[in-house]
């Protein structure tokens, strides 16, 4: 059984391999695995394929059997044999890099003040390296493995999860799944997620362009709006933006470009963000030179952007497990003259998916917008008395030495929502300080994404203790 002696033995093992773990994580971060157009043997683009194959190569170099499946949609690594089947799920793809990195280029990872900085270091390439060193610990220390440990390596978690869909249709469902892509202590559930694009029913007349953001699940922090230079509206925009730190105007030929800068955040925590599109729209609506048609279109957008708890969609609700509904805007574009915005709405288990459908569609129409794309997936919540739940929570309490620690319920979405008996955990233990970073930097999906080395090594230790205990429940 897991006892203090084994906990300490594992702690020493991972401390001894700290430098190797950091080296291997930086190796994976160097692959710019952002999704792009499909290519031969690259269903999610060449970079995502390369990220997956680099992870597979890393496992093979460490002596494990690793293969790509379904035309490079995902990879699998196996250790041990027989039942039960316990699987770790991690992904090698990352969100686009965004602008404004202070410390390094996104795919040129560095270690500074005890932290790794680079896109994907925490979300979720750390999960890949954690899974590798967990298997190494079992093998190198001769730990009993009463079944099969499997690692799933995904390549499209951030952009639709077609990788896990393929896995579920092609492979046996694990008895228990652990997803190092969340938070500690351990998550027993995830919010439902609704992804929607809305499009203005009317076309813009005064604005030539309005664009910003790069992913639905990241609050956009920079937009650019274009106008014909020399018009009364352009002159009013220059005057209104002058002296305001969030705004800048520049000339591009016969165009005036208004730039607005806010604060980004993961879509599950929009409370910490400042949406740049909302900043720009509010400034434009304050100008009398804005025409009637564009005013109506922007007023509708401002309405939908006015509440981070989905109040504009009639969905304001506080779930006893998951907390409030959240709403985040990640992308804005002008297409065929019409303004198009994305929304990422996350809701707890006490909110019916049908209410979300109705609220989004009704309120988009209320402000003059139509639905351009709609996807809604309910979340889940596991009973706390399941043996695997008790094992995961109990192990965390034992290792941390605090019997009062309770499980959590996440706003983020992971592979766990497609699996049975699935638990998400972190890639970094809590309360591990990061180097000082400016607002909107350092978090997952933010510029200067950072991971505490101590927290990363500690998280790998914790994950190994959890999996060891799970095997004992069978």
Give the domains, in start order, of the chain with CATH numbers: 4-191+380-471 (3.40.630.10), 193-377 (3.30.70.360)
The mean pLDDT of 127-150, rounded to a whole number, is 97
**Per-residue confidence (pLDDT) for residue 433, from 0 to 100:** 86
pLDDT at 412 over 90: no
Decide: 126 and 115 in contact? Cβ < 8 Å.
Answer: no
How many whole angstroms separate alpha carbon 38 and alpha carbon 42? Answer: 6
pLDDT level of residue 58 (50, 70, 90 thresholds): very high
What is the DSSP code string of 292-328? Answer: HHHHHHHHHHHHHTS-TTSGGGT---EETTTEE-EEE
**Per-residue confidence (pLDDT) for residue 249, from 0 to 100:** 97
What is the DSSP code string of 239-298? Answer: HHHTT-TTEEEEEETTEEEEEEE-B--BTT-GGG-B-HHHHHHHHHHT-TTS-HHHHHHH
Task: State pLDDT tens for residues 328-346.
Answer: 999 999 999 999 999 999 9
pLDDT at 439 over 90: no
Decide: 123 and 463 in contact? Cβ < 8 Å.
Answer: no
| DSSP 8-state symbol, 20 | H
Task: State pLDDT tens for residues 360-383.
Answer: 999 999 999 999 999 999 999 999
Q: What's the chain's average pLDDT?
A: 96
The model carries a pTM of: 0.88
Q: What is the CA radius of gyration of the chain?
A: 23
pLDDT at 99 over 90: no
Written as six digits, the tokens of 429 are: 């233990």
| CB hemisphere CA count around 355 (13 angstroms) | 14
Written as six digits, the tokens of 472 are: 């004992």
pLDDT at 59 over 90: yes
How many whole angstroms separate alpha carbon 65 and alpha carbon 150? Answer: 10
**Per-residue confidence (pLDDT) for residue 304, from 0 to 100:** 98
**Per-residue confidence (pLDDT) for residue 98, from 0 to 100:** 84
pLDDT level of residue 215 (50, 70, 90 thresholds): confident
pLDDT at 127 over 90: yes
**Per-residue confidence (pLDDT) for residue 386, from 0 to 100:** 92
How many whole angstroms separate alpha carbon 357 and alpha carbon 354? Answer: 5
**Per-residue confidence (pLDDT) for residue 214, from 0 to 100:** 86
């Amino acid at each position: 059984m897991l006892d203090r002696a084994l906990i300490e033995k594992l702690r020493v093992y991972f401390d001894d391999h700290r430098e190797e773990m950091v080296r291997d994580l930086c190796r994976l971060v160097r692959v710019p695995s952002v999704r792009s157009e499909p290519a031969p043997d690259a269903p999610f683009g060449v970079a995502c394929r390369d990220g997956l194959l680099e992870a597979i190569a890393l496992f093979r170099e460490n002596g494990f059997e690793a293969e790509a499946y379904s035309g490079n949609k995902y990879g699998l690594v196996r250790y041990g044999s027989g039942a039960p089947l316990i699987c770790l799920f991690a992904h090698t793809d990352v969100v686009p890099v965004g602008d404004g990195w202070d410390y390094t280029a996104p795919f040129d990872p560095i270690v500074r003040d005890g932290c790794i900085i680079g896109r994907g270091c925490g979300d979720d390439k750390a999960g890949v390296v954690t899974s590798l060193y967990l298997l190494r610990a079992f093998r190198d220390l001769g730990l009993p493995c009463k079944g099969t440990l499997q690692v799933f390596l995904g390549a499209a978690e951030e952009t639709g999860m077609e990788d896990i869909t393929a896995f579920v249709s092609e492979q046996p469902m694990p008895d228990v799944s652990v997803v190092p892509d969340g938070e500690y202590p351990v998550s027993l559930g995830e919010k439902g997620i609704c992804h929607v694009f809305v499009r203005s029913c009317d076309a813009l007349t005064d604005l030539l362009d309005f664009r910003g953001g790069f992913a639905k699940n990241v609050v956009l922090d920079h937009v650019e709006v274009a106008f014909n230079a020399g018009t009364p509206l352009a002159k009013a925009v220059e005057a209104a933006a002058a002296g305001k730190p969030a705004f800048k105007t520049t000339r591009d030929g016969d165009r005036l470009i208004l730039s607005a800068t806010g604060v980004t955040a993961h879509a599950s925590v929009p409370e910490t963000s400042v949406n740049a599109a909302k900043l720009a729209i509010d400034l434009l609506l304050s100008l009398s030179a804005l025409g009637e048609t564009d005013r109506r279109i922007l007023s509708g957008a401002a309405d939908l952007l006015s509440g981070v708890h989905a109040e504009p969609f009639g969905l304001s609700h506080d779930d006893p497990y998951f907390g409030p509904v959240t709403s985040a805007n990640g992308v804005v574009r002008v297409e065929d003259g019409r303004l198009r915005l994305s929304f990422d709405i996350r809701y707890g288990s006490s909110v019916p998916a049908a209410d979300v459908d109705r609220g989004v569609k009704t309120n988009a129409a209320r402000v003059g917008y139509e639905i351009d794309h709609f996807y809604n997936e309910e979340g889940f919540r596991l009973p706390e008395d399941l043996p695997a739940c008790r094992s995961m929570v109990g192990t965390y309490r034992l290792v941390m030495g605090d019997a009062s620690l309770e499980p959590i319920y996440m706003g983020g979405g992971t592979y766990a929502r497609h699996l049975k008996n699935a638990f998400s955990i972190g890639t970094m233990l809590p309360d591990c300080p990061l180097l000082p970073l400016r607002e909107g930097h350092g978090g997952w999906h933010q510029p200067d994404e950072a991971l505490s080395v101590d927290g990363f090594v500690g998280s790998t230790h914790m994950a190994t203790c959890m999996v060891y205990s799970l095997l004992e429940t069978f």
